[in-house]
Amino acid sequence: MTALELAAAIRTRKLGVTDAVSQYINAIEKKDKQINAFTVVSKERAFSRAKEVQAKIDAGAVLPLAGVPVAVKDNISTEGIETTCASKMLSGYAPVYNAAVIDKLENSGMIVIGKTNMDEFAMGGSSETGVYGAVCNPWDLSRVAGGSSGGSAAAIAAGEAPIALGSDTGGSIRQPCSFCGVTGIKPTYGSVSRYGLIAYASSLDQIGTIGQDINDCAALLEIISGPDRRDSTCIIEKPFNFSPDNGCAKIKIGLPKNYFESGIDDDVKKAALAAAKELESSGASIEEFEMPFMDYMIPAYYIIACAEASSNLSRYDGLKYGFRSGNAKTLSGVYRLSRSEGFGLEVKRRIMLGSFVLSSGYYDAYYKKALQTRALIKDAYNKLFEKYDMILSPVAPTAAYKRGENIDDPIKMYMGDIYTVSINLAGLPAVALPCGFDRQKLPVGFQLIGGAFTEKKLIDAARVYQRRTDHHKAGPNS
């Protein structure tokens, strides 16, 4: 069942909350030794919460997703549940407070069943860099699940959770959704509170939703969106409301033709263009255009993201909290050894790059230019959305690749984000939807990108597409 179907069964007493939780806990215990989607499963806590939620439902509480288990990415703070960002640096850390989104989930009657595996501190595109080991793609266990929210996407695809939270800094929700054949929403920056989200790049990070279909994702986004006085960047005035469904008969969709010219697998190109044709058949108009600044998107993103990571991760010094090396003999040794031993290779690579671009003599040459490029990219999107209601593009240039294939080639790994990073640079919303399979029967996804706070338009178009196709209903074992 989808999350909404599960909630309806609970609401109509066809299924008890404890039974629902039990089904997913059993699925995790049965499958997760192979998938490695979870870092921790909060079994006892989930069953305790199930009894509380059942009592509320029996007392007449009507909540859209009450009783539904939810998986949460391991960089979102959960009170009393270990939250490690898949890093040795935070091993054993159990927050003393909930992230804003967790409070909203629990107030709505949802039940956190565990934390999902990821790239260390969300730095990676394959969920291979974390201390818990790689997440395996349920469609082919020899392949990656995508990153950095690979655990959340794999858990949905494998049937280990009905719905999940992830975070998206440069495509970290959308790319795993494409690789695992599930649906996701990266909302507008400032629409969901980041309070309690352990920071990678503060001006780019955004919590979003992953589910089996767009209706599940939209229902969860309604719950977690809305203002929060603890997060000054959260500027939305009230939570989203995605009903009624207005369809997409009169919308105009832009198709960036230079996204389809080189560097993209033929099967991915074919599937994404077929999705455009499907929306055109539903009444939307499609028009090609040339996406500006394409050559500058990856460099600008990685300079800004790594600079912010260098600043954010400076707090992990072996003194205040986090891992402390037992081999240090001096104060400088505590700093050096704790960070050397506590952080993985990819995190150290990005900290070093970020420190370099912020250093004296290089700030103007790199970081300042990247910020100027970001402004140009944002302005270009604003002009495009004067002409188009939304933009359709692939999510990634390939389907899921073999585990270990790109881990030693960071440039190749970074280039896999070519279609996703500009959305984060501009702070825009996007939805990722399954649209077919490649010749190896691996899922392929496309994304719809909109102007700031136009999630309703994107979700309406996604609903039309998923009503007309069955790609989102396919599973690894179907």
Give catalytic residue positions: 73, 148, 172
Do you know the residue count of the chain?
478
Distances (CA, A) of 33 to 30, 68, 134, 457: 7, 23, 12, 39
Give the DSSP letter of residue 342.
H
Is residue 115 within 8 Å of 74, Cβ to Cβ?
Answer: yes
Q: How far apart are the first and last CA of the chain?
A: 14
3-state DSSP assignment of residue 157: helix
Is residue 152 within 8 Å of 210, Cβ to Cβ?
Answer: yes
Alpha carbons 159 and 20: distance in angstroms, whole number: 12
Query: And the tokens for 36?
Result: 């490695």
Alpha carbons 310 and 301: distance in angstroms, whole number: 14
Is residue 263 within 8 Å of 396, Cβ to Cβ?
Answer: no
Select from 208, 144, 140, 224 the least CA-distant residue to 172.
208
